[in-house]
Amino acid sequence: MEIEKLKEELKALNKEYAKIKTIPVEERKAFGEEMNKKKQAILDKIKVAEEAAEDAKVEPLDITAPFSVNGEVKEFRKGSKHPLMTELDRVVDIYQAMGFNVMEPRQLDDEFHMFDSLNFSKGHPARDGYDTFRTAENFIPIAHTSAMQNRALTTYKDRLEKGGQIAVVIPGRVFRNEDVDPTHEHTFYQCEGVYVAEEATMGQLLGIFKNFFETYYGQSLKIKTQPGYFPFTEPSFELLVEKPKSLGGKGDGWLELLGCGMIHPNVLKAAGIDPEKYKGFAWGGGIDRLVMMKYMLNDVRYFESGKLDFLEEF
Amino acid sequence: MLVSLNEIKKLVEIPAGVSTDELVKLIGSRLVEVEGTIDLSKKYKGIKIVEVVSAEDIPETHLHLCKINAGTGSEIQVVCGAPNVRTGMLAVWLAPGCVVPQTFGGENFELSVRKLRGYESNGMLAGLDELDLGDDHSGIVEIDPKFAKAGDDFAEKFELKDTILDIENKSLTHRPDTFGLIGFAREVAGILGVKFEEPVEKFGDLEITTTLSPDTLSEYVSDAEKVWVEVEDKNLCPRYTAGVFEVSNTGLESALEGNKYLTLNDVFLAKAGMKKISKIVDATNITMLMTGQPLHAFDYDKFVKVGAKTSSTSQGATGGADEPKIVVRVAKKGEKLTLLDGKEVELVEGNDIVICSNETPVALAGAMGGESTEIDEDTKKVILESATFSLYNERKMQMAHGIFSEAITRFTKGQPMAGTVPALARCASMLLDSPKKIIDFEVSETYNDNDVFVELSLSDINNLLGTKYTISEVKETLENVGFRVETSDDEDLRVKVPEWRTDISIREDVIEEVGRLRGYDNIPLDLPLRPFIGAEKNPMFELKREMRSILSDRIGANEVLTYSFVSKDLQEKVGEDFSDSYEIVNSISPELQCFRQSILPSLIDKMYDNIRALHKDFILYEFNQVTSKKLGLTDEKVPEIENHVALISTGDFYEAKRTLVELGRRLHVEFVLGENNAAEFPYFEKVRSAKVMLDGETVGVVGEIKGRVLRNFKLKNASGFELNLDKIVKMPRKITADLKLSKFPFVERDLTLKVSSEANYEEIKEAVINGLSGISELVYKVNPVSIYQGEDKMTKNISFHVSFASEVKTLESNEISDIMKNIEEKISEVKAEVI
Please say if the pLDDT value at position B812 is more than 60: yes
As a whole number of angstroms, the distance between CA B282 and CA B275 comes to 8
More confident residue, A146 or B451: A146
In a domain, B534, yes or no: no
Q: What is the pLDDT of residue B352?
A: 94
Please name every residue paired with B780 in a beta bridge, in sequence order, or none if there are none: B804
In 3D space, the residue among B297, B301, B302, B298 whose CA is nearest the CA of residue B287 turns out to be B297
Partner B contacted by A214 (CB < 8 A): no
Q: How many domains does chain B have?
A: 6
Residue B683's pLDDT is what? 94
B781 lies in the same domain as B638: no
**B319 plus B178 within the same structural domain:** no
Cα separation, B481 vs B191, whole angstroms: 9
**In this structure, is residue B735 part of a structural domain?**
no
Between A99, A123, A136, which is nearest B395 by CB? A123
Structural domain range at position B29: 2-34+167-192
Side chain identity at residue B721, one-letter code: F
Position B259 scores a pLDDT of 56
Instruction: Check whether residue B20 and residue B144 sit in a common domain.
Output: no
Domain boundary among B522, B551, B577: B522
For the stretch B284-322, pLDDT in tens is 999 999 999 999 999 999 999 998 855 444 444 454 556
**Pairing assessment for the beta strands A223-227 and B206-208 based on DSSP bridges:** unpaired
Phi, psi of A108 (to 5 degrees): -115, 120
What pLDDT sits at residue A304? 94
Q: What is the mean pLDDT of residues B810-820?
A: 92
Task: Look at residue B780 and tell me if it is in a domain.
Answer: yes
Burial call A231-269: b when 16+ CB within 10 Å, e when fewer = bbbbbbbbbbbbbbeeeebeeeebbebbbbbbbbbbbbe
Nearest chain A Cα distance for residue B501, angstroms:
15
Say if B742 falls within a structural domain: no
For residue B32, give the chain A residue with the closest CA.
Answer: A227
Say whether both B278 and B417 belong to one domain: yes
- pLDDT exceeding 90 applies to what percent of chain B? 75
Distance CA B185, CA B199 (A): 10
Q: What angle do CA B452, B454, B458 make, to 5 degrees?
A: 155
Three-class SS state of A169:
strand
pLDDT the model gives residue B737: 67
Between chains, do A102 and B586 touch, taking CB under 8 Å as contact?
no
Whether residue A93 lies within 8 A of chain B, CB to CB, comes out as: no
The residue type at B123:
G
Q: What would the pLDDT profile of A238-282 be if each residue is shown by its tens digit?
A: 999 999 998 988 888 899 899 999 999 999 999 999 999 999 999
- Please give the pLDDT value at position B574: 94
CATH number, position B217: 3.50.40.10
What pLDDT shows up at residue A21?
84
Give me chain B's average pLDDT, please: 91
Mean pLDDT confidence for B221-237? 91
> Does residue B186 register a pLDDT over 90?
yes
Q: Does any CB of chain A come closer than 8 Å to the CB of residue B179?
A: no
Question: How sure is the predictor about B255, in pLDDT bands with cuts at 50, 70 and 90?
Answer: very low
Which helix or strand (DSSP H or E) is residue A283 part of?
Answer: strand A279-286
Q: Do B508 and B360 share a domain, yes or no?
A: no
Determine contact: B615 vs chain A, CB below 8 A: yes
Specify whether B616 is located in the same domain as B643.
Answer: yes
What's the pLDDT band for B448 if we cut at 50, 70, 90? low
CA–CA dist A260, A192 (Å, integer): 9
Asked if the model's pLDDT at residue A100 lies above 90, the reply is yes
In a domain, B734, yes or no: no
Compute how many other C-beta atoms are within 10 angstroms of the C-beta atom of residue A272.
10
Residue B90's beta-bridge partner residues? B51, B143
CB B618 within 8 A of CB B555: no
Contacts of A54 (CB under 8 A, 6+ apart): none
Contacts of B551 in chain A (CB under 8 A): 79
H helix or E strand, kind and range, residue B113: strand B113-116
For residue B680, the model assigns a pLDDT of: 82
Residue B533 clears pLDDT 90, i.e. is over it: no
Same-domain pairing of B463 and B572? no
Rounded to whole angstroms, the Cα distance separating B675 from A60 reads 57
**B440-453 average pLDDT score:** 82
Indicate yes or no: CB of A226 within 8 angstroms of CB of B29. yes
Q: Which helix (H) or strand (E) holds B677?
A: none
Q: Tell me, yes or no, whether B371 and B265 share the same domain.
A: yes
Q: What is the pLDDT of residue B741?
A: 86
| Residue B644, C-beta contacts closer than 8 angstroms, at least 6 positions apart | B598, B599, B623, B624, B625, B626, B700, B722, B723, B724, B725
Task: Mutate one of A74, A76, A77, A165 to test the B interface: name it (highest B CB count within 10 A).
Answer: A77
Contact A167 B535 (CB under 8 A): yes
Q: Using CA atoms, how far apart are residues A144 and A105, in angstroms rounded to an integer?
A: 9
Encode B367-401 in three state secondary structure: CEEEHHHCCCCCCCEEEEEEEECCHHHHHHHHHHH
Instruction: Collapse the DSSP code of B675 into the 3-class scheme (helix H, G, I; strand E, B; otherwise coil) and give the result.
Output: strand
B357 pLDDT above the threshold of 90: yes
pLDDT score for B256: 37
What is the percentage of chain B residues whose pLDDT exceeds 70?
96
CA gap B236, B480 in Å, rounded: 33
Q: Which of B529, B558, B585, B666 to mutate to test the interface with A (most CBs of A within 10 A)?
A: B558
Q: CA–CA distance from A250 to each of A211, A221, A243, A246, B25 (Å)?
A: 20, 11, 7, 10, 19
Distance from C-alpha of B26 to C-alpha of B588, rounded to nearest angstrom: 39
Answer yes or no: do A122 and B515 touch at CB < 8 A: no
Q: Is residue B741 part of a domain?
A: no
CB B290 within 8 A of CB B180: yes
Domain of residue B54, CATH code: 2.40.50.140
Highest mean predicted confidence (pLDDT) among A10-24, A72-86, A91-105: A91-105
pLDDT tens digit string along B636-686?
999 999 999 999 999 999 999 999 999 999 999 999 999 998 778 999 999
Q: What is the DSSP string of B34-101?
A: EEEEEEHHHHTTT-EEEEEEEEEEPTTSS-EEEEEE-SSSSEEEEEE--TT--TT-EEEEE-TTPBPG
| pLDDT tens readout for residues B681-711 | 999 999 999 999 999 999 999 999 999 999 9
Instruction: Tell me which residue in A76, A99, A204 faces B466 most closely, judged by beta carbons.
Output: A204
Task: Indicate whether B533 belongs to any domain.
Answer: no
Confirm or reject contact between A186 and chain B (CB < 8 A).
yes
What are the chain B neighbours of A141 within 8 Å (beta carbons)? 564-565, 584, 595
The pLDDT-based confidence of B279 (bands split at 50, 70, 90) is confident
Residues in chain A within 8 Å Cβ distance of B618: 77, 308
Q: Is the same domain home to B304 and B239?
A: yes
Contact B280, B382 (CB under 8 A): yes
Instruction: Output the domain CATH number for residue B818.
Output: 3.30.70.380
Q: Which long-range contacts (CB under 8 A, 24 or more apart) does A89-95 make?
A: A89/B545, A90/A216, A91/A169, A91/A171, A91/A191, A91/A216, A91/A287, A91/A290, A92/A169, A92/A171, A92/A191, A92/B541, A94/A212, A94/A215, A94/A216, A95/A169, A95/A191, A95/A193, A95/A212, A95/B535
Which one-letter amino acid corresponds to residue B583? E
The beta-strand segments (E) located in B560-657 are 565-566, 594-595, 619-626, 642-649
Q: Are B288 and B402 found together in one domain? A: yes
Residues in chain B with CB shorter than 8 Å from the CB of A265 are 506-508
